[in-house]
């Protein structure tokens, strides 16, 4: 990845990508529009618990994914991306410190998370110089997500135990038959998806394929979470789907193979150690 100015060194920065404002605007407006409409309609529809959970997760995942995929075609100057991140951060901070609740606050939080994920993820993804860099990136983030959720000292584990944190760092969706929102996808998942979309757009790969692959990964994560009745590291199936479905992501340049292999080996070792530690604790407590 280049450490120089992203605007100057992005692999593909044609005029359409940098000036395609309407796609970026449409993508960022999609989340508040869909979530707002759902918040007005779904409380009147009563479903059983399993069906309601499916609607919440599917609604949050599909809306976020579509918003990021649409906005990925837009790459405005860094000042606009920085401003988007700043506004989203201020909105999230205000919601947290003000203990804001209700439909409007929940819609604002979801919209802010998607906007921040797009601005941050696109900035990183567009700086990826070669599609093969996605391979070590996928392995590292999947292992980091696994460790973060499994380890009792991991950030994701701590967030999952805090209702206040979940309301700020996860995209929520209205629960059918109620006036409440339920958390569905973490902002870390969205940032990684935006990175993938940014890299795919920069190298003129199929954005539709990338979106379908990430959607498949989210589907697997949601099904696993429902079956196990606990939080699962969503980045594992998402990253696996990207690696399996994007051939260019598996092609490392010869001069980069050693460093990439070393980084992946360390990440896998840390994740295995975390899993082993949890298993040891479980077996000891039996």
Give pLDDT tens digits for 185-195: 999 999 999 99
**pLDDT higher than threshold 60 for residue 176:** yes
- For the chain, the structural domain boundaries read 6-285
Report pLDDT for 49. 84
Q: What is the mean pLDDT of residues 110-133?
A: 95
Work out the number of other CB atoms within 10 angstroms of the CB of residue 37.
12
* pTM, full prediction: 0.89
**pLDDT higher than threshold 70 for residue 238:** yes
**pLDDT higher than threshold 90 for residue 125:** yes
**pLDDT higher than threshold 60 for residue 96:** yes
Report pLDDT for 10. 44
Work out the number of other CB atoms within 10 angstroms of the CB of residue 62.
15
Output 106 or 137, whichever has higher pLDDT.
137
Per the prediction, the chain carries an average pLDDT of 87
How big is the chain by its Cα radius of gyration, in Å? 19
Report pLDDT for 3. 36
CA separation for the pair 203, 163 (Å, rounded): 39
Check if the beta carbon of residue 70 is closer than 8 Å to that of residue 194: no
Report pLDDT for 139. 97
**pLDDT higher than threshold 60 for residue 31:** yes
On the CB side of 237, CA atoms within 13 Å amount to: 17
H or E segment to which residue 214 belongs:
helix 207-228
Band of residue 230 on the pLDDT scale cut at 50, 70, 90: confident
Report pLDDT for 129. 92
**pLDDT higher than threshold 60 for residue 86:** yes
Report pLDDT for 8. 38
Output 212 or 275, whichever has higher pLDDT.
212
| Cα–Cα–Cα angle for 159, 160, 161, rounded to 5 degrees | 90
Output 158 or 121, whichever has higher pLDDT.
121
| Cα–Cα–Cα angle for 94, 59, 240, rounded to 5 degrees | 100
CA separation for the pair 34, 115 (Å, rounded): 14
Output 156 or 218, whichever has higher pLDDT.
218
CA separation for the pair 24, 43 (Å, rounded): 30
Q: What is the mean pLDDT of residues 69-80?
A: 90
Q: What is the mean pLDDT of residues 212-241?
A: 93
**pLDDT higher than threshold 90 for residue 282:** no
Report pLDDT for 7. 39
Q: What is the mean pLDDT of residues 71-76?
A: 90
Nearest to 250 by CA among 122, 127, 143, 137: 137
**pLDDT higher than threshold 80 for residue 19:** no
CA separation for the pair 30, 118 (Å, rounded): 13
Report pLDDT for 264. 96
**pLDDT higher than threshold 90 for residue 175:** yes
């Amino acid at each position: 990845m280049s450490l120089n100015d992203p605007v100057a060194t992005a692999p593909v920065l044609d005029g359409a990508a940098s000036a395609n404002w309407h796609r970026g605007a449409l993508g960022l407006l999609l989340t508040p529009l869909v979530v707002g409409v759902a918040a007005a309609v779904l409380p009147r529809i009563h479903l059983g618990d399993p069906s309601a959970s499916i609607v919440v997760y599917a609604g949050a995942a599909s809306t976020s994914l579509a918003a990021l995929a649409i906005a990925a075609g837009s790459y405005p100057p860094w000042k606009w991306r920085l401003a988007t991140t700043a506004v989203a951060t201020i909105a999230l901070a205000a919601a947290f410190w003000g203990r804001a609740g209700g439909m409007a606050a929940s819609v604002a939080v979801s919209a802010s998370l998607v906007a921040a994920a797009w601005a941050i993820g696109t900035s990183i993804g567009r700086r990826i110089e070669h599609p093969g860099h996605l391979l070590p990136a996928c392995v590292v983030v999947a292992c980091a997500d696994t460790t973060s959720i499994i380890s009792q000292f991991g950030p994701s584990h701590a967030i999952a135990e805090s209702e206040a944190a979940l309301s700020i760092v996860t995209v929520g969706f209205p629960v059918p038959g109620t006036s409440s929102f339920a958390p569905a996808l973490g902002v870390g998942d969205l940032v990684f998806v935006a990175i993938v979309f940014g890299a795919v757009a920069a190298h003129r790969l199929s954005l539709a394929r990338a979106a379908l692959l990430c959607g498949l990964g989210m589907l697997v994560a949601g099904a696993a979470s429902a079956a196990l009745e606990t939080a699962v590291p969503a980045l594992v199936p998402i990253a696996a789907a990207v690696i399996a479905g994007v051939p260019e992501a598996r092609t490392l340049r010869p001069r980069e193979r050693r460093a990439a292999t070393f980084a992946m080996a360390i990440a896998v070792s840390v994740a295995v150690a975390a899993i082993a530690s949890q298993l040891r604790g479980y077996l000891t407590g039996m």
